[in-house]
Amino acid sequence: MRVCLWFALLLWGTGSPNFEPARSLREQADARGMLVGTAVRPYALSEMAYSATLGREFNMLEGEDAMKWWVLRPDRATFNFTDGDRVVGFAEVHRMKVRGHNLVWGWTNPAWLTNGNFKTQELSQMLEEHITTVAKHYRGKVFAWDVVNEGFDEHGKVKPSIWYDQPGIGFAGKGTAYIEQTFRWAHAADPDALLFYNDGGAETVNEKSNAIYAMVKDFKRRGVPIDGVGLQMHIFDLAPDLAGIDANIARFSALGVQIHLTEMDVAVPLDAYGSPSPEDLAKQAEIYRRVASACLAHSGCTAIQTWGFTDKYSWIGSATKKAKGAGLLFDRDYHPKPAYEGLRQALQKQ
Protein backbone atom coordinates (compact mmCIF):
# COMPACT_ATOMS: atom_id res chain seq x y z
CA MET A 1 0.00 0.00 0.00
CA ARG A 2 2.83 2.41 0.84
CA VAL A 3 4.47 1.74 -2.53
CA CYS A 4 1.21 2.39 -4.41
CA LEU A 5 0.59 5.59 -2.43
CA TRP A 6 4.12 6.80 -3.13
CA PHE A 7 3.73 6.07 -6.82
CA ALA A 8 0.37 7.80 -7.00
CA LEU A 9 1.92 10.92 -5.51
CA LEU A 10 4.80 10.68 -7.94
CA LEU A 11 2.47 10.52 -10.92
CA TRP A 12 -0.26 12.90 -9.86
CA GLY A 13 1.42 15.43 -7.62
CA THR A 14 0.41 16.97 -4.32
CA GLY A 15 -2.71 18.81 -5.30
CA SER A 16 -1.05 22.12 -6.16
CA PRO A 17 -3.25 24.09 -8.59
CA ASN A 18 -0.19 24.70 -10.79
CA PHE A 19 0.79 21.03 -10.97
CA GLU A 20 0.35 19.21 -14.29
CA PRO A 21 -0.11 15.43 -14.06
CA ALA A 22 2.68 13.30 -15.49
CA ARG A 23 2.07 12.33 -19.08
CA SER A 24 1.36 8.72 -20.07
CA LEU A 25 3.90 6.63 -21.94
CA ARG A 26 1.90 7.24 -25.09
CA GLU A 27 1.95 11.02 -24.64
CA GLN A 28 5.67 10.98 -23.93
CA ALA A 29 6.36 8.81 -27.00
CA ASP A 30 4.12 10.92 -29.26
CA ALA A 31 6.00 14.03 -28.18
CA ARG A 32 9.28 12.42 -29.26
CA GLY A 33 7.98 10.88 -32.46
CA MET A 34 8.51 7.38 -31.04
CA LEU A 35 6.41 4.27 -31.00
CA VAL A 36 5.76 2.62 -27.64
CA GLY A 37 3.85 -0.61 -27.90
CA THR A 38 2.89 -3.92 -26.40
CA ALA A 39 1.80 -7.40 -27.42
CA VAL A 40 -1.83 -8.20 -26.63
CA ARG A 41 -4.20 -11.12 -26.10
CA PRO A 42 -7.50 -10.61 -27.95
CA TYR A 43 -9.64 -12.28 -25.27
CA ALA A 44 -8.37 -9.79 -22.67
CA LEU A 45 -9.59 -6.80 -24.68
CA SER A 46 -13.03 -7.35 -23.17
CA GLU A 47 -11.58 -6.66 -19.70
CA MET A 48 -12.18 -3.00 -18.92
CA ALA A 49 -8.96 -2.35 -16.99
CA TYR A 50 -6.91 -4.11 -19.68
CA SER A 51 -8.36 -2.20 -22.64
CA ALA A 52 -8.37 1.15 -20.81
CA THR A 53 -4.70 0.82 -19.84
CA LEU A 54 -3.77 -0.36 -23.32
CA GLY A 55 -5.46 2.52 -25.11
CA ARG A 56 -4.14 5.13 -22.69
CA GLU A 57 -0.50 4.07 -22.50
CA PHE A 58 0.49 2.79 -25.96
CA ASN A 59 0.42 4.00 -29.56
CA MET A 60 1.30 0.61 -31.10
CA LEU A 61 0.33 -3.01 -30.54
CA GLU A 62 0.68 -6.49 -31.97
CA GLY A 63 -1.00 -9.78 -31.23
CA GLU A 64 0.94 -12.27 -29.14
CA ASP A 65 -0.47 -15.19 -31.14
CA ALA A 66 -3.32 -13.72 -33.18
CA MET A 67 -1.43 -13.71 -36.49
CA LYS A 68 0.63 -16.88 -36.07
CA TRP A 69 0.08 -19.95 -38.23
CA TRP A 70 -1.53 -22.08 -35.52
CA VAL A 71 -4.22 -19.44 -34.95
CA LEU A 72 -4.75 -18.31 -38.54
CA ARG A 73 -4.70 -21.75 -40.15
CA PRO A 74 -6.87 -24.33 -38.34
CA ASP A 75 -6.52 -26.47 -41.46
CA ARG A 76 -4.86 -26.21 -44.83
CA ALA A 77 -7.90 -24.82 -46.62
CA THR A 78 -9.01 -22.28 -44.01
CA PHE A 79 -7.83 -18.83 -42.95
CA ASN A 80 -9.41 -17.62 -39.70
CA PHE A 81 -8.72 -13.91 -39.23
CA THR A 82 -11.05 -13.43 -36.24
CA ASP A 83 -8.39 -12.80 -33.57
CA GLY A 84 -6.16 -10.75 -35.82
CA ASP A 85 -9.06 -8.61 -36.99
CA ARG A 86 -10.05 -7.94 -33.39
CA VAL A 87 -6.55 -6.66 -32.64
CA VAL A 88 -6.62 -4.44 -35.73
CA GLY A 89 -10.11 -3.20 -34.88
CA PHE A 90 -9.03 -2.13 -31.39
CA ALA A 91 -6.03 -0.33 -32.86
CA GLU A 92 -8.16 1.53 -35.40
CA VAL A 93 -10.59 2.76 -32.73
CA HIS A 94 -7.72 3.93 -30.51
CA ARG A 95 -5.53 5.35 -33.30
CA MET A 96 -2.70 2.88 -32.78
CA LYS A 97 -0.27 1.34 -35.24
CA VAL A 98 -0.21 -2.44 -35.69
CA ARG A 99 2.83 -4.69 -36.03
CA GLY A 100 2.22 -8.07 -37.62
CA HIS A 101 3.77 -11.03 -35.82
CA ASN A 102 4.67 -13.24 -37.66
CA LEU A 103 4.56 -14.71 -41.14
CA VAL A 104 7.24 -17.43 -40.90
CA TRP A 105 8.39 -19.34 -37.81
CA GLY A 106 9.82 -22.82 -37.41
CA TRP A 107 8.03 -23.38 -34.09
CA THR A 108 4.41 -23.66 -32.84
CA ASN A 109 3.08 -24.47 -36.27
CA PRO A 110 -0.21 -26.42 -36.44
CA ALA A 111 -0.03 -30.20 -36.26
CA TRP A 112 -1.62 -30.62 -39.68
CA LEU A 113 1.38 -28.75 -41.12
CA THR A 114 4.23 -30.24 -39.10
CA ASN A 115 2.89 -33.81 -39.37
CA GLY A 116 1.67 -33.52 -42.95
CA ASN A 117 4.75 -35.02 -44.66
CA PHE A 118 4.56 -32.34 -47.33
CA LYS A 119 7.16 -32.28 -50.09
CA THR A 120 9.38 -29.30 -50.81
CA GLN A 121 7.33 -28.01 -53.73
CA GLU A 122 4.11 -28.27 -51.71
CA LEU A 123 5.66 -26.39 -48.77
CA SER A 124 6.97 -23.66 -51.04
CA GLN A 125 3.57 -23.13 -52.64
CA MET A 126 1.85 -23.25 -49.26
CA LEU A 127 4.20 -20.72 -47.65
CA GLU A 128 3.94 -18.31 -50.58
CA GLU A 129 0.15 -18.63 -50.43
CA HIS A 130 0.15 -18.01 -46.68
CA ILE A 131 2.38 -14.94 -46.82
CA THR A 132 0.49 -13.50 -49.76
CA THR A 133 -2.98 -14.10 -48.31
CA VAL A 134 -2.18 -12.76 -44.84
CA ALA A 135 -0.16 -9.74 -45.96
CA LYS A 136 -2.83 -8.76 -48.50
CA HIS A 137 -5.62 -9.21 -45.95
CA TYR A 138 -3.90 -6.70 -43.64
CA ARG A 139 -2.52 -4.39 -46.32
CA GLY A 140 -2.97 -0.79 -45.17
CA LYS A 141 -3.72 -1.95 -41.63
CA VAL A 142 -0.45 -3.57 -40.54
CA PHE A 143 2.42 -1.12 -41.01
CA ALA A 144 5.26 -3.56 -40.22
CA TRP A 145 5.68 -7.34 -40.33
CA ASP A 146 8.01 -9.70 -38.53
CA VAL A 147 8.48 -11.73 -41.70
CA VAL A 148 10.76 -14.38 -40.20
CA ASN A 149 10.97 -15.06 -36.48
CA GLU A 150 13.93 -16.78 -34.80
CA GLY A 151 15.70 -18.18 -37.84
CA PHE A 152 19.18 -18.53 -36.26
CA ASP A 153 20.54 -20.64 -33.42
CA GLU A 154 22.75 -19.31 -30.62
CA HIS A 155 25.90 -19.95 -32.67
CA GLY A 156 24.70 -17.95 -35.66
CA LYS A 157 23.77 -20.96 -37.79
CA VAL A 158 20.47 -21.13 -39.66
CA LYS A 159 18.09 -23.21 -37.54
CA PRO A 160 16.74 -26.49 -38.85
CA SER A 161 13.03 -26.09 -39.56
CA ILE A 162 10.20 -27.19 -41.78
CA TRP A 163 10.87 -24.12 -43.91
CA TYR A 164 14.64 -24.44 -44.18
CA ASP A 165 15.64 -28.08 -44.39
CA GLN A 166 12.94 -30.40 -42.97
CA PRO A 167 12.46 -30.63 -45.91
CA GLY A 168 12.39 -26.86 -46.58
CA ILE A 169 11.01 -24.77 -49.43
CA GLY A 170 13.85 -25.49 -51.82
CA PHE A 171 16.85 -23.76 -50.23
CA ALA A 172 18.16 -26.39 -47.81
CA GLY A 173 21.87 -25.94 -47.20
CA LYS A 174 21.84 -22.48 -48.81
CA GLY A 175 22.02 -20.40 -45.65
CA THR A 176 19.72 -17.39 -45.60
CA ALA A 177 18.33 -17.92 -49.11
CA TYR A 178 14.99 -19.18 -47.79
CA ILE A 179 14.70 -16.10 -45.58
CA GLU A 180 15.40 -13.90 -48.58
CA GLN A 181 12.63 -15.61 -50.54
CA THR A 182 10.08 -14.99 -47.78
CA PHE A 183 10.95 -11.27 -47.71
CA ARG A 184 10.49 -11.07 -51.47
CA TRP A 185 7.08 -12.74 -51.22
CA ALA A 186 6.02 -10.42 -48.40
CA HIS A 187 7.11 -7.32 -50.31
CA ALA A 188 5.21 -8.44 -53.39
CA ALA A 189 2.06 -8.91 -51.29
CA ASP A 190 2.33 -5.53 -49.52
CA PRO A 191 4.94 -3.16 -50.98
CA ASP A 192 4.10 -0.49 -48.39
CA ALA A 193 4.69 -2.56 -45.25
CA LEU A 194 7.99 -2.40 -43.39
CA LEU A 195 9.59 -5.84 -43.28
CA PHE A 196 11.54 -7.01 -40.21
CA TYR A 197 13.64 -9.96 -39.23
CA ASN A 198 12.93 -10.70 -35.53
CA ASP A 199 14.97 -12.75 -33.05
CA GLY A 200 15.81 -13.24 -29.38
CA GLY A 201 19.21 -13.74 -27.78
CA ALA A 202 20.72 -11.33 -30.31
CA GLU A 203 20.27 -8.14 -28.32
CA THR A 204 23.97 -7.73 -27.58
CA VAL A 205 27.00 -8.36 -29.79
CA ASN A 206 27.43 -12.14 -30.03
CA GLU A 207 27.54 -14.99 -32.55
CA LYS A 208 23.83 -14.81 -33.29
CA SER A 209 23.69 -11.05 -33.75
CA ASN A 210 26.85 -11.18 -35.87
CA ALA A 211 25.12 -13.63 -38.22
CA ILE A 212 21.99 -11.47 -38.38
CA TYR A 213 24.12 -8.40 -39.01
CA ALA A 214 25.93 -10.16 -41.88
CA MET A 215 22.58 -11.24 -43.38
CA VAL A 216 21.08 -7.75 -43.18
CA LYS A 217 24.21 -6.18 -44.64
CA ASP A 218 24.12 -8.68 -47.51
CA PHE A 219 20.40 -8.15 -48.11
CA LYS A 220 20.81 -4.37 -48.19
CA ARG A 221 23.73 -4.64 -50.60
CA ARG A 222 21.76 -6.81 -53.01
CA GLY A 223 18.46 -4.96 -52.76
CA VAL A 224 16.53 -7.61 -50.85
CA PRO A 225 13.50 -5.79 -49.36
CA ILE A 226 14.35 -5.70 -45.65
CA ASP A 227 13.56 -2.61 -43.60
CA GLY A 228 14.39 -3.52 -40.05
CA VAL A 229 15.53 -5.83 -37.29
CA GLY A 230 13.48 -6.75 -34.24
CA LEU A 231 15.42 -7.35 -31.05
CA GLN A 232 13.13 -9.25 -28.70
CA MET A 233 14.80 -8.09 -25.44
CA HIS A 234 13.56 -10.80 -23.06
CA ILE A 235 15.88 -10.14 -20.10
CA PHE A 236 16.27 -12.78 -17.37
CA ASP A 237 19.44 -11.38 -15.78
CA LEU A 238 19.30 -8.23 -13.64
CA ALA A 239 22.83 -7.35 -14.80
CA PRO A 240 22.46 -7.40 -18.62
CA ASP A 241 25.18 -6.29 -21.04
CA LEU A 242 23.88 -2.76 -21.49
CA ALA A 243 26.98 -1.53 -23.32
CA GLY A 244 26.69 -4.43 -25.74
CA ILE A 245 23.01 -3.68 -26.34
CA ASP A 246 23.86 -0.08 -27.15
CA ALA A 247 26.69 -1.12 -29.51
CA ASN A 248 24.43 -3.62 -31.26
CA ILE A 249 21.66 -1.07 -31.84
CA ALA A 250 24.28 1.36 -33.14
CA ARG A 251 25.72 -1.00 -35.73
CA PHE A 252 22.34 -2.09 -37.10
CA SER A 253 21.27 1.55 -37.26
CA ALA A 254 24.39 2.30 -39.29
CA LEU A 255 23.24 -0.21 -41.91
CA GLY A 256 20.28 2.05 -42.65
CA VAL A 257 17.58 -0.22 -41.20
CA GLN A 258 15.14 0.43 -38.40
CA ILE A 259 15.45 -1.32 -35.05
CA HIS A 260 12.40 -2.22 -32.99
CA LEU A 261 12.65 -3.58 -29.46
CA THR A 262 9.83 -6.03 -29.95
CA GLU A 263 9.21 -8.23 -26.90
CA MET A 264 10.81 -6.62 -23.87
CA ASP A 265 10.28 -7.89 -20.37
CA VAL A 266 12.64 -8.05 -17.40
CA ALA A 267 12.10 -11.08 -15.17
CA VAL A 268 12.84 -10.81 -11.45
CA PRO A 269 13.14 -13.52 -8.78
CA LEU A 270 10.00 -14.26 -6.76
CA ASP A 271 9.78 -15.30 -3.12
CA ALA A 272 7.72 -18.19 -1.79
CA TYR A 273 4.61 -16.00 -1.95
CA GLY A 274 5.18 -15.05 -5.57
CA SER A 275 6.37 -11.53 -4.79
CA PRO A 276 9.49 -9.67 -5.98
CA SER A 277 11.68 -7.67 -3.62
CA PRO A 278 11.64 -3.83 -3.74
CA GLU A 279 15.37 -3.93 -4.48
CA ASP A 280 14.88 -6.10 -7.55
CA LEU A 281 12.01 -3.91 -8.76
CA ALA A 282 14.37 -0.93 -8.54
CA LYS A 283 16.98 -2.82 -10.59
CA GLN A 284 14.28 -3.74 -13.09
CA ALA A 285 13.23 -0.11 -13.44
CA GLU A 286 16.81 0.94 -14.11
CA ILE A 287 17.15 -1.72 -16.82
CA TYR A 288 13.99 -0.48 -18.54
CA ARG A 289 15.28 3.07 -18.35
CA ARG A 290 18.73 2.28 -19.69
CA VAL A 291 17.60 -0.05 -22.49
CA ALA A 292 15.04 2.52 -23.64
CA SER A 293 17.69 5.24 -23.43
CA ALA A 294 20.00 3.14 -25.62
CA CYS A 295 17.23 2.86 -28.20
CA LEU A 296 16.46 6.57 -28.06
CA ALA A 297 20.13 7.46 -28.52
CA HIS A 298 20.12 6.07 -32.08
CA SER A 299 17.92 7.47 -34.83
CA GLY A 300 17.38 4.04 -36.35
CA CYS A 301 15.70 2.69 -33.21
CA THR A 302 12.11 3.77 -33.68
CA ALA A 303 9.97 1.56 -31.44
CA ILE A 304 10.01 0.13 -27.92
CA GLN A 305 7.54 -2.69 -27.31
CA THR A 306 6.94 -4.98 -24.34
CA TRP A 307 5.64 -8.55 -24.39
CA GLY A 308 2.44 -7.73 -22.59
CA PHE A 309 2.05 -4.92 -20.10
CA THR A 310 0.47 -6.43 -16.99
CA ASP A 311 1.95 -9.20 -14.87
CA LYS A 312 -1.53 -10.73 -14.86
CA TYR A 313 -0.87 -11.96 -18.40
CA SER A 314 2.80 -12.87 -18.66
CA TRP A 315 4.55 -15.96 -19.96
CA ILE A 316 7.50 -15.71 -17.55
CA GLY A 317 5.96 -17.56 -14.61
CA SER A 318 5.09 -20.67 -16.60
CA ALA A 319 8.44 -20.59 -18.41
CA THR A 320 10.41 -20.51 -15.13
CA LYS A 321 8.07 -22.69 -13.01
CA LYS A 322 7.20 -19.55 -11.03
CA ALA A 323 10.80 -18.94 -9.95
CA LYS A 324 10.72 -15.61 -11.76
CA GLY A 325 8.05 -13.22 -12.94
CA ALA A 326 6.77 -9.66 -12.45
CA GLY A 327 8.56 -8.68 -15.65
CA LEU A 328 6.22 -6.00 -16.98
CA LEU A 329 5.28 -2.36 -16.43
CA PHE A 330 2.04 -2.89 -14.50
CA ASP A 331 1.28 -5.32 -11.69
CA ARG A 332 -1.60 -7.81 -11.76
CA ASP A 333 -4.02 -5.10 -10.63
CA TYR A 334 -2.87 -2.63 -13.32
CA HIS A 335 -0.95 -0.43 -10.90
CA PRO A 336 2.14 1.09 -12.52
CA LYS A 337 5.39 -0.30 -11.15
CA PRO A 338 8.78 1.41 -10.82
CA ALA A 339 9.57 -0.09 -14.25
CA TYR A 340 6.82 2.09 -15.71
CA GLU A 341 8.45 5.19 -14.30
CA GLY A 342 11.86 4.03 -15.55
CA LEU A 343 10.55 3.79 -19.11
CA ARG A 344 8.64 7.04 -18.79
CA GLN A 345 11.76 8.85 -17.57
CA ALA A 346 13.72 7.63 -20.57
CA LEU A 347 11.01 8.84 -22.94
CA GLN A 348 10.78 12.29 -21.36
CA LYS A 349 14.51 12.96 -21.29
CA GLN A 350 15.54 15.59 -23.80
Give yes or no for residue 238 having a pLDDT over 60: yes
How confident is residue 350, by pLDDT bands cut at 50, 70 and 90? low
Which comes out higher in pLDDT, residue 36 or 5? 36
Q: What is the pLDDT of residue 21?
A: 58
Rounded to the nearest angstrom, the gap between the alpha carbon of residue 62 and the centroid of all alpha carbons in its chain is 8
Q: What is the pLDDT of residue 248?
A: 98
Is the distance from CB of 106 to CB of 159 less than 8 angstroms? yes
Q: Mean of the pLDDT values across residues 169-184? A: 98
Give yes or no for residue 122 having a pLDDT over 90: yes
3-state secondary structure string across 121-146: HHHHHHHHHHHHHHHHHCCCCCCEEE
Give yes or no for residue 86 having a pLDDT over 50: yes
Q: What is the pLDDT of residue 94?
A: 98
For 6-30, what is each residue's pLDDT tens digit? 344 344 333 334 434 589 999 999 9
Give yes or no for residue 114 having a pLDDT over 70: yes
Reply yes or no on domain 59-231 having CATH 3.20.20.80: yes
For 134-148, what is each residue's pLDDT tens digit? 999 999 999 999 999
> Backbone phi, then psi, for 225, in 5-degree steps?
-75, 80
Amino acid 28 reads Q
Q: Which residues carry out catalysis?
A: 150, 263
In this structure, of 4-18, 154-168, 294-308, the range with the lowest mean pLDDT score is: 4-18
Q: Mean of the pLDDT values across residues 43-60? A: 98
For 197-232, what is each residue's pLDDT tens digit? 999 999 999 999 999 999 999 999 999 999 999 999
For 311-346, what is each residue's pLDDT tens digit? 999 999 999 999 999 999 999 999 999 999 999 999
Q: What is the pLDDT of residue 35?
A: 98
In percent, the amount of the chain with pLDDT more than 70 equals: 93
User: Does pTM top 0.75 for this prediction?
Assistant: yes
Biggest CA–CA distance in the chain, Å, is: 71
Q: What is the pLDDT of residue 5?
A: 38
Please, which residues bridge with residue 78 across strands? 75
